[in-house]
């Protein structure tokens, strides 16, 4: 089988997997008042982006949802209200009021199909899942969690890979790559600037040596978002250094930065750029950085009673280590899943 046919078969395989995931999620997701979009690090729960997905309830003449009083009061205080107006305020000392003040309990699930092209040893196809959620959640603070889970069809020795800064050469492999988990302590948002500080953990879950680092790694993490309509600007950064794992593999020391820049275009369309920047501190200065430049266009829509957002993006690696891909195309689907009982 020639390279073109192999690539077509791999693309079809990942698109089938993505379609199955979309269908399963569509059966479970509630109908939402506001469609999801892509905010900091591919679309975070409502407090991370300022795009609040609310369950469909009765609607005022001005288009705003009618909310329970404690929830409406919390949204008004945090600047996240979409027009809801409650009557009276419940006691903030009751468990119900504290839960309402924390806002809707959501899992946001971006799914990214990415094709990396132009690498010296072959192209790669990736299916990246980035689930984000909050637990525990309190009135004035919460712990925000996010995972970077990648299924890859890639050759060995692919430079600039997030979570695998010291790749080893080898034949093409298909399977799970290393998982990265991030947790942030963050105050409940009360204005245009949102922040969180915490830690990142790299877990050597790769099913093939060429897809992972073979190392446990950890380090500090930071997230920062500025939102003021129609803009949403931010990033998440994690610096990880290996501390355990396969003694035959090289130690790792990598910076990972995920940017997120979005501008709303009317009600449904938006411009988006979400580059993944990496720096391998163990490499020589000429092979240290991978810096993509690009972006794309997205749209919110409804499918089978569920709100979604989809975008198509393209990036060129303006700075890249030797052997890394030269350009990337990405298809993203994002949705919210209610975790409330």
DSSP 170: -
Residues 165 and 299 reside in one and the same domain: yes
pLDDT over threshold 50, residue 146: yes
Domain boundary among 83, 103, 123: 103
Residues 29 and 143 reside in one and the same domain: yes
At 192, is the secondary structure helix, strand, or coil?
A: coil
Instruction: pLDDT band for 251, please (50, 70, 90 cuts).
Output: very high
Residues 67 and 21 reside in one and the same domain: no
Q: Provide the pLDDT for residue 121.
A: 85
pLDDT mean over 68-92: 35
Residue 303: give its domain's CATH number.
2.40.160.40
For 83: left if phi > 0, alpha if psi spans -120 to 50, otherwise beta; the answer is: left
Percentage of the chain with pLDDT > 70?
A: 69
* Cα distance between residue 288 and residue 121, in whole Å: 19
Residue 99 lies in domain: 56-103
Domains: count for the chain? 2
Residues 42 and 64 reside in one and the same domain: no
Global pTM value: 0.75
Residues 83 and 180 reside in one and the same domain: no
Residues 199 and 152 reside in one and the same domain: yes
Residues 77 and 223 reside in one and the same domain: no
Residues 91 and 238 reside in one and the same domain: no
pLDDT over threshold 50, residue 225: yes
Instruction: pLDDT band for 102, please (50, 70, 90 cuts).
Output: low
Instruction: pLDDT band for 35, please (50, 70, 90 cuts).
Output: very low
Average pLDDT of every residue of the chain: 77
Residues 219 and 183 reside in one and the same domain: yes
Residues 75 and 199 reside in one and the same domain: no
Residues 18 and 63 reside in one and the same domain: no
pLDDT over threshold 50, residue 269: yes
Q: Provide the pLDDT for residue 235.
A: 96
* Cα→Cα distances 267→32, 195, 255, 299, 301, Å: 15, 26, 36, 9, 10
Residues 8 and 80 reside in one and the same domain: no
For the ranges 19-28, 80-89, 204-213, 254-263, which has the lowest average pLDDT?
80-89
pLDDT (tens digit, 9 = 90+) per residue, 303-340?
877 778 999 999 999 999 998 999 999 999 998 887 87
């Amino acid at each position: 089988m020639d390279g073109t046919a192999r690539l077509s078969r791999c693309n079809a395989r990942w698109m089938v997997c993505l379609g199955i995931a979309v269908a399963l999620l569509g059966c479970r997701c509630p109908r939402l008042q506001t469609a999801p979009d892509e905010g900091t690090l591919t679309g975070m729960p409502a407090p991370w982006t300022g795009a609040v997905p609310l369950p469909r309830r009765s609607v005022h003449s001005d288009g705003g949802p009618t909310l329970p009083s404690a929830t409406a009061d919390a949204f008004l205080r945090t600047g996240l209200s979409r027009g809801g107006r409650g009557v009276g305020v419940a006691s903030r000392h009751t468990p119900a009021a504290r839960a309402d003040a924390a806002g809707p309990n959501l899992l946001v699930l971006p799914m990214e199909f990415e094709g990396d092209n132009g690498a010296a040893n072959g192209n790669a196809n990736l299916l990246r899942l980035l689930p984000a959620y909050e637990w525990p959640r309190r009135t004035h603070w919460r712990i925000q969690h996010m995972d970077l889970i990648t299924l890859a069809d890639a050759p060995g020795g692919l430079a600039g890979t997030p979570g695998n800064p010291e790749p080893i050469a080898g034949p093409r492999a298909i399977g799970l790559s290393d998982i990265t988990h991030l947790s942030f302590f963050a105050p409940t948002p009360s204005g245009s600037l949102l922040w969180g500080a915490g830690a990142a953990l790299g877990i050597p879950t790769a099913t093939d040596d060429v897809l992972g680092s073979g190392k446990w790694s950890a380090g500090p993490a930071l997230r920062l978002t500025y939102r003021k309509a129609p803009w949403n600007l931010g990033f998440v950064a994690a610096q990880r250094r290996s501390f355990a794992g396969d003694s035959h593999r090289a130690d790792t020391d990598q910076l990972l930065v995920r940017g997120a820049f979005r501008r709303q275009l009317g009600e449904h369309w938006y411009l988006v750029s979400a580059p993944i920047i990496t720096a391998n501190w163990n490499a020589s200065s000429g092979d240290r950085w991978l810096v993509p430049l690009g972006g794309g266009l997205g749209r919110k829509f409804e499918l089978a009673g569920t709100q979604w957002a989809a975008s198509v993006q393209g990036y060129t690696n303006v700075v890249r280590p030797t052997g890394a891909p030269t350009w990337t195309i990405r298809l993203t689907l994002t949705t919210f899943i209610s975790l409330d009982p």
